[in-house]
Structure 1
Amino acid sequence: MLQVSSTDLAGGRFNGHAIGPRLTQRGIQSRMLVWNRQSQDATVRAFLPLRGARRMNAWLGRMERARSIHARLQYQSFLLAAHPWFREADVVHYHLIHDGWFSLDALPFLTRRKPSLWTWHDPWIMTGHCIYPLGCGRWRTGCGACPDLTLPFAMRRDRTADQHRWKQGVVGRSRVEVILASRHMQAMAEASPIARGLSTHLLPFGVDLDFFTPGDVAAARARLGIRPDRVVIGFRGAAENMFKGGDLVIEALRGLPAELAEKLCLLSTHAHGQTLPFVDRHQVVELGWNTDPLLVRDSLLAADFFVMPSRAEAFGMMAIEAMACGKPVIVTDGTSLPEVTQAPEIGIAVPAGDVPALTAAILRLIQNPYERAARGAAGRALAEARYGEAGFADGLATLYRGAVVRRGAAP
């Protein structure tokens, strides 16, 4: 089994890296080829670790941006077929291959050589250029006349219709089965002309329920330096990533009553500096970007609840991890998050972009410890029922073995 992705540790909880030991327990040897190797794991190798390869790839990226195209010129991806691990694999599973190192034109060539699966971690493959369409429906009819070329991956001029046609052709020529983690993404695929005729499988990601589990809150807070008398609001920062809604959390926090001063702790990850306006009113703890699983777990254990008002989301791994730790989650409509958190029964969903509604939901959980406890316990039960890593590994093993059988039976 070969996993192919851009990195190993960043996104490792869903890109095929962390699940490797579970697959080994099921009789499947999993190895990984990545463009940027971050770990020293012996089962991971850097694809094309040649001197000058990164410089050449950066030059190709500049060429693409000048031509308003994306994921087309990196022809080194054809060389994957020559790698010993590719040749030895029974199945190849593609993950994040659209972030600037892989040409999709290689996909038909590669997928004809090995039984192949491809997890769509976001809707980019279904659009003319953007990672998330944010309410625009032109992806359903071929794009063109794009209302916002600045969304990632940005274009200088509108070639969205051309990119959409090109993607449809590439996917149509590829022999690949697609894995989708949510019904939200499944519904998009069913409406997409690019995905028409593809074999798709619904398989939610899983988390390690023995690791992400309700634990010693006081100890986690002590390790992070959080005062024991505070109600702790956890959230993901990263204002530069508009899709995650960190800026909406900041605006919502501004609307909290003044009498809550000195009673809250704002605990953020993935960014520094966003909570500085609140240092005179609340305790502020900013953990920034990190890949340390112990720190990720501590940040969830220490929180009384987790706020995740994403403008767009294909699944929502942090919401699942928070629920697994017994924490209630506030999410936004129009994404996968109400589905995966089973709002309104377990998660709390507010309208996308509605800052007053988000403020009200945050205030509600601040003021209702019994509701926090009830929703947290229900979230843990949901994680155990639907989102265990063992069940995810079982699903992958079934798909991998089935892909080999189906390829052998195909004409």
Structure 2
Amino acid sequence: MKVVHLIAGNINGGAARGAYWLHKGLLEQGIDSTIITSSELTLGEPEIIGILNEENKELYKNNLQSEKKILSEYSNKSAELFSTGLFGFKLKSLDKIKKSDIIHLHWVNDNFLDISELSLFNKPIIWTLRDMWPITGGCHYAINCERYKSKCGKCPLLGSEIESDLSEFVQQRKEDLLPKDIYYVGISKWITEQARLSQILRGKKVSTIANCIDTLEYFPIDKSQSRSILGINTPKKIILIGATRIKDSYKGFNLLKNVLGNLDKEKYFLAVFGAVNDADISQFGFEYKRFGYLYDTVSLRLVYSASDVFLCTSTLEAFGKTVAESMSCGTPVVCFDCCGPSEIVEHNTSGYKAKPYDTQDMVNGINHICFSPNYKDISSSANKRILNFFDKSKAAEKYAKLYLSIKSGSN
């Protein structure tokens, strides 16, 4: 069984990381799994093939400029990510693609894949839905917009007032060009439900296999030891905040401001990683330590383990990778009871799910978790929750069964 995963972007972070862990789990299952990626980082692993040679770097540069030119026509476009799926590398000619039994798509944007090429593969295709892009007219999360459920156009992300705009074109192109026999898999029940409601996939079969992390990489370390290594010396409870694109509106940064504004600064210390600068965090008057971007699991494991609670204010999230990583390290999570994170956290057992989008309830949740007399039990439950349901071995077993059923024709 030869499976080729197509993954765009940095293989060491973001949506690609869940796909990478699945790949590692599949190798352990005896599946001949290969990743083809636009990431220049291949981790020195022979099963990861980077395609950015000199010729493809020039192609990527030209494609990037072409997409930028198209998007520049929308002068009122927001800063949120919008992808057209119009440009990509010539993947069908790759030897690994030709010899594969199954092509498995993950996050394929950033001008990695032109969707018109999918019909040329002549292979069974699985597409794991890691955000909303496969089901929309170009946005990766439909923020305060439900047009993906009917007809895109007048796209609020593009700042468009025209019905027949780029989003309408991209949506129609997907309806016209996507092969009818793709197997779609959501990484959470929430993203699966959005897919079933969408115009593009309405009537299509969409199943759910929960996203995964590597619990051999994320595990609890003694809090005092972690804090000592990180240079944190405080008697206060530590709240961890982190995301690679925290300023994206669906990450809830404005809600985070309200939460922090209502917490006792004498009781809490903030640990921050990712796309958060000093100006963002110093305005609230907390003691804090900022770690910047963390890509290695050792540093992330220490930061998670050193904290008392991880705060997730996302309002749209297909899964919640950082939520699962934190819990795997024994650090409970406070999130809103919505979308992907709500399927990971068990209320009052492994964390706290605040009423959407009630920031005072989130404050209550932080206080409840951090000062609970049963904190050690909550911490242990968080770790066990991930071990039992979200380890890479669980996802790999389910995908291996799906691959076999597709190859045998029984699916």
Give the TM-score normalised by structure 2.
0.87
State the partner residue of 2:107: 96
Cα distance, 1:391–1:13 mapped onto 2, change above 3 Å: farther
State the partner residue of 1:185: 191
State the partner residue of 2:29: 26
Check whether the contact 1:308–1:329 (CA below 8 A) recurs between aligned residues: yes
Secondary structure of residue in 1 paired with 2:272? strand
Mapping of residues 304-343 of structure 1, within 5 Å: 304-343=308-347
Distance 2:319 2:85 in 1: 26
Secondary structure of residue in 1 paired with 2:151? coil
Give the root-mean-square deviation of aligned CA atoms.
2.5
State the partner residue of 1:256: 263
State the partner residue of 2:219: 213
Shift of 1:102: 1.9
Unaligned runs of 5+ in 1: none
Check whether the contact 1:312–1:335 (CA below 8 A) recurs between aligned residues: yes
State the partner residue of 2:390: 387
Mapping of residues 342-381 of structure 1, within 5 Å: 342-343=346-347, 345-366=349-370, 368-381=371-384
Distance 2:347 2:111 in 1: 35
Shift of 1:156: 8.7
Secondary structure of residue in 2 paired with 1:18? helix
Secondary structure of residue in 1 paired with 2:38? strand
For each residue in 1:122-150, what CA deviation from the matched residue of structure 2 results, as whole angstroms up to 9, or x when unmatched? 1122223322123432221223344x224
Secondary structure of residue in 1 paired with 2:91? helix
State the partner residue of 1:83: 94
Check whether the contact 1:185–1:336 (CA below 8 A) recurs between aligned residues: yes
State the partner residue of 1:303: 307
Shift of 1:4: 0.6
Secondary structure of residue in 2 paired with 1:118? strand
The worse-fitting range, judged by mean Cα deviation, of 242-251 and 212-221 is: 242-251
State the partner residue of 1:164: 171
Counterpart selection for 1:290 from 288, 291, 294 = 294
State the partner residue of 1:141: 150
Shift of 1:215: 2.2
Cα distance, 1:289–1:118 mapped onto 2, change above 3 Å: same
Q: Structure 2 counterpart of 1:56, which letter?
A: N
Check whether the contact 1:255–1:356 (CA below 8 A) recurs between aligned residues: yes
Q: Structure 2 counterpart of 1:102, which letter?
A: L
Distance 2:173 2:15 in 1: 30
For each residue in 1:208-237, what CA deviation from the matched residue of structure 2 results, as whole angstroms up to 9, or x when unmatched? 223322221111111111115221101115
Check whether the contact 2:273–2:293 (CA below 8 A) recurs between aligned residues: yes
Distance 1:13 1:297 in 2: 19
Distance 1:19 1:342 in 2: 24
Percent of aligned positions that are identical: 20
Shift of 1:305: 0.8
Shift of 1:329: 0.9
Mapping of residues 195-274 of structure 1, within 5 Å: 195-237=201-243, 238-257=245-264, 260-261=265-266, 263-271=267-275, 272-273=277-278, 274=280
Distance 1:88 1:14 in 2: 25
Q: Structure 2 counterpart of 1:208, which letter?
A: D
Cα distance, 1:295–1:250 mapped onto 2, change above 3 Å: farther
For each residue in 1:230-250, what CA deviation from the matched residue of structure 2 results, as whole angstroms up to 9, or x when unmatched? 211011154422222244323
Shift of 1:48: 5.0
Shift of 1:31: 1.5
Secondary structure of residue in 2 paired with 1:296? helix
Shift of 1:331: 0.8
Tell whether 2:129 aligns with 1:120: yes
Cα distance, 1:339–1:5 mapped onto 2, change above 3 Å: same
Distance 2:60 2:197 in 1: 37
Check whether the contact 2:131–2:141 (CA below 8 A) recurs between aligned residues: yes
Secondary structure of residue in 2 paired with 1:31? strand
Distance 1:70 1:134 in 2: 15
Cα distance, 1:34–1:15 mapped onto 2, change above 3 Å: farther
Secondary structure of residue in 1 paired with 2:8? strand
Cα distance, 1:47–1:199 mapped onto 2, change above 3 Å: farther
Check whether the contact 1:5–1:34 (CA below 8 A) recurs between aligned residues: yes
Shift of 1:15: 4.5
Shift of 1:390: 1.2
Secondary structure of residue in 2 paired with 1:129? coil
Shift of 1:318: 1.3
